[in-house]
Structures are given as structure tokens and as C-alpha cells.
């Protein structure tokens, strides 16, 4: 900044000098002014003008450098990042939509299978009965069967659901999807429970491991 002030001051001084010489030349006549003096002043004026142009150009360059400029490369990079984020969100939405559609289709398929199953059961009572037996809650498992010709024998069994077992409760022996027969609980001990066969018990005898359920209401 000090250099610019000095140059401007020198420029003004030279211009004043040139005006003084020009004024003197006008008073005394152009012929009386030395040619070498005129040439020297003209040369200095040209040099000062060139220096002024140079200083002006440098000042404009400094102004341009002081202003932040975003290059095209940075602008393109930001645009690419923004586009990538949008593409990522779009892909996530597509994946979520696919998962929802897959879940809906699975539920619909299961509902359709269940409806078909119930439709068949409504036409075939045996299928319905087998399904109800298969779905019945397991409450005990036979540990031992003691056969008695006089009293009809009895079974001991492990109690799996104590809240479902009490004296007098009727339980059924389930084997696969069929009912082998029914028992009546007579006693409950710390080791398990005892039950006796009811009339109508089939020729097939209970076995260790047979499952006990509450008789389904067909």
C-alpha cells in the first residue's frame, strides 16, 4: 500500500512538472523548449502510465484472489455426492417394500392353506377329528401301566401341566393322531399321578411314553 502511494505521488509530481514545462513552453514558444527535455518528459509520462496500468492490474488480481471461488470440480463432486445419497435412499425404500410384499405374500399363503385345510375338514369329519387331537395340549406322559384282571389295572404318569391335573379329571391317551382310550385321575402324588381306565377302553394297551391330553370336544 505504501509503494502505491509513493508511485501515485511521483506520478502527480511528474505531471505537475510536465504541466509547468508545457506552460513555460507556451509562454516562451515551442522553439525555445529543448527537444531533449520534451523527449525526456514524454518518455517519463509513458513509463508512469505503464506503471499505473500495471498497478491497476495487480490490484484487480488481488481482489479476484480474495474472493472465494468454487471450482467446477468441487461443484460436480457435491452434485455426485447428493445423487449417491438419493440413490441409496431409493434402494433402501425398494428393499423395505420387497420385504413387506414378501411378508404379505407369506401370510396370504398361510391363510389360504389354512382355509383349504379347514374346507377339507368340514367335508371330512375324520380329518377334523385328527387335527383336533394333534393340536390338543400335552398335559402328561405315561410312566407305567399295571394290568389287573380284577380291577382293570391302572397307569402312573408324569404330570407336565399341574394346573390341568386334579383328582377326577378325565384324560385321553393320544397316540399319533388317534385316541387310544380315556382314563380318570384318582390320585396325585409328588412323583406323579395315578389314573384308571374308563369303560370302553380298547384292546390296545397303554405303553410307556404315551401322551395324555384333555379329550377334545369334537
- Per-range mean pLDDT, top range of 7-11, 84-88, 107-111, 136-140: 136-140
pLDDT tens for each residue of 57-97: 887 777 777 665 555 556 788 888 888 888 888 888 888 88
User: Which is higher by pLDDT, 76 or 21?
Assistant: 76
Q: Which of 25-39, 47-61, 62-76, 151-165 has the lowest mean pLDDT?
A: 25-39
Give the start-to-end residue ranges of the domains of the chain: 2-66, 70-123, 137-213
pLDDT above 80: residue 124: no
Distance from C-alpha of 53 to C-alpha of 84, rounded to nearest angstrom: 49
- Does residue 184 carry a pLDDT above 90? yes
Compare 85 and 53 and report the one with higher pLDDT: 85
Task: Identify the residue with better confidence: 177 or 26.
Answer: 177
* Architecture category of domain 137-213 in CATH: Beta Barrel (2.40)
pLDDT at 157: 96
- Across 110-122, average pLDDT: 65
How high is the pLDDT of residue 144? 94
Query: pLDDT at position 126, please?
Result: 81
Mean confidence (pLDDT) of the chain: 78
Predicted confidence (pLDDT) at residue 201 exceeds the cutoff of 80: no
Q: Note the pLDDT of residue 30.
A: 46
pLDDT score of 205: 85
Amino acid at each position: 500500500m505504501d509503494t502505491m502511494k509513493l508511485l501515485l505521488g511521483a506520478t502527480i509530481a511528474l505531471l505537475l512538472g510536465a504541466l509547468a514545462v508545457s506552460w513555460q513552453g507556451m509562454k516562451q514558444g515551442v522553439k525555445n523548449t529543448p527537444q531533449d527535455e520534451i523527449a525526456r518528459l514524454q518518455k517519463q509520462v509513458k513509463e508512469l502510465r505503464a506503471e499505473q496500468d500495471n498497478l491497476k492490474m495487480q490490484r484487480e488480481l488481488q481482489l479476484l484472489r480474495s474472493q472465494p471461488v468454487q471450482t467446477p470440480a468441487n461443484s460436480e463432486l457435491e452434485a455426485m455426492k447428493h445423487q449417491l445419497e438419493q440413490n441409496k435412499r431409493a434402494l433402501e425404500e425398494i428393499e423395505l417394500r420387497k420385504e413387506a410384499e414378501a411378508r404379505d405374500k407369506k401370510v396370504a399363503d398361510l391363510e389360504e392353506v389354512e382355509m383349504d385345510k379347514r374346507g377339507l375338514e368340514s367335508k371330512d369329519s375324520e380329518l377334523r377329528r385328527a387335527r383336533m387331537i394333534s393340536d390338543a395340549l400335552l398335559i402328561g406322559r405315561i410312566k407305567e401301566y399295571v394290568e389287573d384282571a380284577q380291577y382293570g389295572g391302572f397307569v402312573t404318569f408324569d404330570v407336565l401341566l399341574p394346573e390341568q391335573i386334579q383328582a377326577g379329571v378325565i384324560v385321553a391317551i393320544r397316540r399319533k393322531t388317534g385316541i387310544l382310550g380315556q382314563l380318570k385321575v384318582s390320585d396325585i402324588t409328588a412323583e406323579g399321578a395315578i389314573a384308571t381306565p374308563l369303560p370302553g377302553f380298547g384292546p390296545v394297551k397303554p405303553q410307556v411314553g404315551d401322551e395324555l391330553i384333555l379329550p377334545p370336544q369334537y
